[in-house]
Structure 1
Amino acid sequence: MISDILTFPLVRVRDINRNIVGKDVRTVYYVVTALRDLAVGFVSATYALFLLSKGLTILEMNLVNVFFMVGNFVFEIPTGVYADFFGRKKSVVIHGVLLGLSGLVYFFSNSFWYFVAAELLAALAYTFISGALDAWLADNVGENWVGRTDYIFSQGQVFSKVALIVGGMTGAYFGSLNLAYPWFLVFMSTTFMTLIAAMYMKNDSPTRAHLGVRSGVKQMMKIAKDSFSYGLGHPVVLWLIITTFVSFLAFQPLNMFWAPRFSAMAGGQVSVTGWVWAVMSAMMLAGSYLTRLYVKKRMVYWKIMILSVLLMAVPVLLSSVSPMFLVAVGFFVVHEVGRGIDRPMKISYINQYLPADKRATLLSFDSMVGKIAAALGLIGFGWLAQNSSFAVSWMVSGLMLLTLIPLYLQVKKKEENFS
């Protein structure tokens, strides 16, 4: 407060208070964001290795993750409605409690169905915080920051990526001692995050005192109806949603099998996955930076998307046939640049064709399509890898990603016709 007064001696007291409020809210947002993603990072490099170490087959490991995707699909809309009706702070606190419980269940468990229970808890946790933390920031940031939240969100992404990298390397180290230890770190991190959120997040007023079952069902039916009627009826939006389905389908063997494949190629070392994870995160961050450059240069969207496809597919194919550890890892981390471009550009692309009153609904629909594709990809590629190899599943994934090129050319054609 003293520094604010010294820096701005001529502003009125109420303006100083606005600055302080905005600063406090931003600090809490950055801390909660970092702790949330630190928890994710702790198990990112060891997740698959942990499940395989408990005797699960490759297909069973993927099926555990299918329950997470299904849980996300089922819980996403009800928890979003809860945040709007009962307050965003409550949603963030509930997220921390549920994710901490999920970490404890994983830490103490040894069987498939206990892992499924942990995944469902985690899915419910992530849907509670999905959108709620960002909405809380926008609602409470203060008058001086209204219209400038994009800067805060971008800064939050920096904290997020750093936390993911630190968490991944730390989790891999503790995982090399015992693959269950990273789950206890998840519990510790989320407990601390929950306390921070409960004590320092400003209370926000719910928009309604009570939400009944009937109104919740009506809300979900309205969202589904609006999504299907507009999304499937608009030629450009429809084809962009199809690309979401294909890409999420193809991503699953890359998401699930990189750690066991590279750990095996490195002679069974667990700690090496932390370093690989750090480089992967850095390369994705580089892709996000390239996205900003492309946007500034006003490059045509479909051309950028095809470039991202090539940056994803070609390195994956080369990595899949590389028998040497460093070569395989080198090609694989390059594909993360393409993924860093892919999702933010896709969201920006589709947003051009979404009306403001339906935007959140249709983006939610696009997200749901991605989750359905992810669940199918986990099952299909889990079966393929179990009956062949991780490398073969990556080769199929790379070829599937290449099919996005004619799909984006179709988007270009539909754009021309639409115009």
Structure 2
Amino acid sequence: MNSQARRIQGVYITLMLGNTLAASFIWGINTLFLLDAGLSNLEAFAANAFFTAGMVLFEVPTGVVADTVGRRASYLLGTLTLSGATALYYLMWQISAPFWAWAVVSVFIGLGFTFFSGAVEAWLVDALHYAGYDGSLETVFGRGQMVSGVAMLGGSVAGGVIAQATSLGVPFLVRVGVLLAMFVVAFLLMRDLGFTPDRSAGTRQAVRGIWSASIEHGLRNPPVRWVMLAAPFASGVGIYTFYALQPYLLELYGDPDAYSIAGLAAAVVAGAQVVGGYVAPHARGLFRKRTTALILGTVISAVILGLLSITEVFWVALLLLVVWALIFAAEMPIRQAYLNDMIPSKQRATVLSFDSLMGNTGGVVIQPVLGRAADVYGYGASLGIGAAIQLLAAPFLVGSRRQQSPADTAVTVPASPVAPAIEPQSDEQQR
């Protein structure tokens, strides 16, 4: 690996470290925070659904920002938006705000995260192409995930301990501080390499051109389309499971005030990310096709959720959580590499954002549905229902496999795909 590629990976890892650390301070106690603010299970998960809805609404627009203005600019906007919305969360907790206020601010938190999704990943892949990196993408994404896991482990445990020593609101203030620090870091270190925003056309024409090309290389590209259609089921259930495990573990543990135990759920997922990031390139080597690993991971993790739904022993639930998280973590770099190998550079951030939109669409519907199931039947039953929903993702992944894309068997970073030129439309055509 040459020095420029090594530096690019160093910046990427720094961004992943800071982003995850900031976010994870509240991950272990977020559901408890919302319940402490006076929300019911339905309202708490509905607030999370509004957060996800914000990501759905803004994923593609912010992806277009990253592809037309720049990936660095998108990241900087994300740090400012997310820090401001998080500060409002703390304020609403202080004043016991009504549900509608939580819904509105949750949408803005979703907006903040959409400036990151797609932009950082697209920045990395294009910069690595620019630097002549010839290794595998699984290795790079795996390293980023390992660092994120370490940050998540430290942040989630620290958030739970801080909450228990002070109050449930203090970790949110810590998140604001770290995000503002990351704004400074990104401003100094992050540069768009291997990518030049096309500003030759007017803004409206540029956005329309990128949107059209993104649809062409996303939903109209069969192997990419099938992966995207699987995302709502797997991602929606995954988001719910992560947050539902906080109160569920407390319920099994028998102490509703043991916030550090709630933080343990996030810590387990974090530790699994470290191991999964290391294992991903090796796991990839066990299968000729990437889709084989994705299909097996989806089915096995659904089975584990089913087992989680029926256990009544805290330590057994914790062990199942570890296995579920390990499978999820090992799958993620493989999925990222598979998608990136099929997307042209100029539309990369927008297509990746569209993929994130598809996953978050599932979260908008699935979270409140499973939250209501938890209110009526209990957390265990809601996880069992989630397992059945997740299995619906498998046939779509099989559909992607049947397209026999070269990316399914790729092992190194290929030359970046070239998108066909998009003809600017006249004013008459635009009408």
What is the match of residue 29 of structure 2? 46
Q: Which has the higher helix share?
A: 1
CA separation of 1:363 and 1:209: change in aligned 2, threshold 3 A: closer
Give the counterpart of 1:383 among 372, 375, 386: 372
Q: State the match for 2:426 in structure 1.
A: none
| 1:121-160 matched pairs, under 5 angstroms | 121-137=108-124, 146-147=133-134, 150=137, 153-160=141-148
Which of 199, 206, 220 is the equivalent residue of 1:230? 220
Work out which of the two has the higher radius of gyration on C-alpha atoms and give 1 or 2: 1
In the TM superposition, residue 342 of structure 1 has moved relative to its aligned partner by 3.5
Amino acid at match of 1:36: N
Q: CA deviation at 1:257?
A: 0.7
One-letter code aligned to 1:58: N
Q: Which residue of 1 aligns with 2:197?
A: 207
CA separation in 2, counterparts of 1:139 and 1:224? 16
Residues 211 and 377 of structure 1: CA distance in aligned 2, closer, same or farther (over 3 Å): farther
2: distance between equivalents of 1:42 and 1:140?
30
For each residue in 1:185-244, what CA deviation from the matched residue of structure 2 results, as whole angstroms up to 9, or x when unmatched?
11110011112222343477963558856336524651575267624xx3x555444432
1:327 counterpart (308, 316, 337):
316
Of residues 297, 316, 327 in structure 2, which corresponds to 1:338? 327
**SS of equivalent to 2:287:** coil
> How much has 1:338 moved relative to structure 2?
2.2
User: Are residue 187 (structure 1) and residue 154 (structure 2) matched?
Assistant: no
| Residue 364 (structure 1) shift | 4.3
Cα separation, 1, equivalents of 2:130 and 2:336: 28
The one-letter code sitting in structure 1 at the alignment partner of 2:48 is: N
Matched, 1:109 2:109: no
> Are residues 1:56 and 2:39 paired?
yes
| Residue 5 (structure 1) aligns with | none
Q: Which residue of 1 aligns with 2:413?
A: none
Per the TM alignment, residue 331 of structure 1 is displaced from its structure 2 partner at its CA by 1.6
What amino acid is aligned across from residue 115 of structure 1 in structure 2?
W
Higher relative contact order (CA 8 A, sep 6+): 2
Counterpart residue number, 1:273: 262
State the TM-score, normalizing by the size of structure 1.
0.81
Distance in 1 (CA, whole Å) between partners of 2:144 and 2:268 is 20
Note the C-alpha offset of 1:306: 4.1
Partner of 2:312, secondary structure, is coil
CA contact (8 A) 1:311 1:334 kept: no
Tell me the secondary structure at the aligned position of residue 101 of structure 1: helix
2:429 corresponding residue in structure 1? none
CA shift for structure 1 position 170:
0.6
Measured after TM superposition, the shift of residue 255 of structure 1 is: 2.3
Query: What does residue 35 of structure 1 align with?
Result: 18
SS at match of 2:259: coil
1: CA distance, partners of 2:169 / 2:338: 41
Q: What is the CA deviation profile of residues 265-311 of structure 1, one whole-angstrom value per residue up to 9, with x for unaligned ones?
A: 32121011223322222224434444322322334445433431343
Residue 98 in structure 1 maps to residue 87 in structure 2: no
Q: Which residue of 2 aligns with 1:12?
A: none
* Distance in 1 separating the partners of 2:281 and 2:64: 32
Partners in 2 of 1:404 and 1:131 — Cα distance?
22
Contact 1:351 1:359 in 2 (8 A): no
- How many Å separate the matches in 1 of 2:187 and 2:289? 45
Q: Decide whether aligned partners of structure 1 residues 154 and 346 sit closer, same or farther in structure 2, where only a CA change above 3 A counts.
A: closer
In the TM superposition, what are the counterparts of 1:74-85 in structure 2 within 5 Å? Answer: 74-85=57-68
Query: What do the CA deviations read for 1:31-57 (whole angstroms, capped 9, x no partner)?
Result: 332111101110110111100111111
Answering whether residue 151 of structure 2 is matched by residue 163 of structure 1, we say yes
Q: Is the 8 A contact 1:140 1:202 kept in 2?
A: no
Q: Is the 8 A contact 2:117 2:352 kept in 1?
A: no
1:306-338 per-position Cα deviation (integer Å, ceiling 9, x unaligned): 431343122222221111211222222211122
Letter in 2 for 1:79: T
Counterpart position of 1:244: 231
Between the aligned partners of 2:391 and 2:129, the Cα distance in structure 1 is 46
Deviation per residue, 1:352-407 (Å, 9 max, x gap): 7x475898465544432222111110121122112221111011112333455566
Query: By how many angstroms is 1:120 displaced?
Result: 2.3
CA distance in 1, matches of 2:151, 2:390: 29
CA distance in 1, matches of 2:368, 2:85: 23
Q: Name the structure 1 match of 2:106.
A: 119
Q: Distance in 1 between matches of 2:117 and 2:111?
A: 10
Cα separation, 1, equivalents of 2:333 and 2:38: 37
- Report whether the alignment pairs 1:315 with 2:298: no
Give yes or no for contact 1:106–1:114 (8 Å, CA) kept in 2: no
What is the rounded CA distance, in whole Å, between the counterparts of 1:357 and 1:32 in structure 2?
Answer: 21
- Cα distance between partner residues in 2 of 1:399 and 1:87: 40
Match of 2:281 among 247, 270, 292: 292
The Cα of 1:167 is off from its aligned counterpart by 0.6
Aligned match of 2:421: none
Give, in whole Å, the separation in 2 of the partners of 1:356 and 1:139: 10
Partner of 2:386: 397
Q: 2:70 maps to which residue?
A: 87
Tell me, in whole angstroms, the C-alpha distance in 2 between the residues paired with 1:209 and 1:277: 42
Match of 2:26, SS?
helix
Moved more, 197-206 or 151-160: 197-206
* Secondary structure of the structure 1 residue equivalent to 2:31: helix
2:18 aligned partner, one-letter code: L
Structure 2 gap ranges (5+): 406-431
Give the secondary-structure state (helix, strand or coil) at the position aligned to 1:44.
coil
Report the CA distance shift for 1:27/1:54 in structure 2 as closer, same or farther (over 3 A).
same
Superposition TM-score, scaled by structure 2 size: 0.79
Identity %: 24
Give the conservation status (yes or no) of the 8 Å contact 1:173–1:271: yes
Q: 1:356 to 1:379 in 2, by over 3 A?
A: same
